[in-house]
Amino acid sequence: MNSVGWTMLVLAAIVGAIIGAFVFAAAGTVVLLLLIAYVADKLTRDDDNRGDY
């Protein structure tokens, strides 16, 4: 493989790592938001859920 091929391979690996990191961060954000929504729902006190406490 010549230098252009190696350069393209390295750039493709870097772009793949950036995309992978973005997907991982996005999934983590979604999980964190779902956790916050779940906890907020549990902390909501209303008459319909009085038996849950």
Q: What is the pLDDT of residues 3-50, one digit of tens each?
A: 999 999 999 999 999 999 999 999 999 999 999 999 888 877 665 656
C-alpha distances in Å from residue 19, one per residue of 27, 33, 48, 52: 12, 21, 44, 42
Q: So what's the pLDDT on residue 27?
A: 98
Q: Which residue has better confidence, 1 or 51?
A: 1
Report whether 53 contacts 45 (CB < 8 A). yes
pTM of model > 0.85: no
Predicted local distance difference test score (pLDDT) of residue 21: 98
Q: What is the pLDDT of residue 17?
A: 98
Q: Which residues contact 9 (CB under 8 A, 6 or more apart)?
A: 1
For residues 7 and 33, give the distance between their C-alpha atoms in angstroms, rounded to a whole number: 39
**Where are the domains positioned within the chain?**
3-52
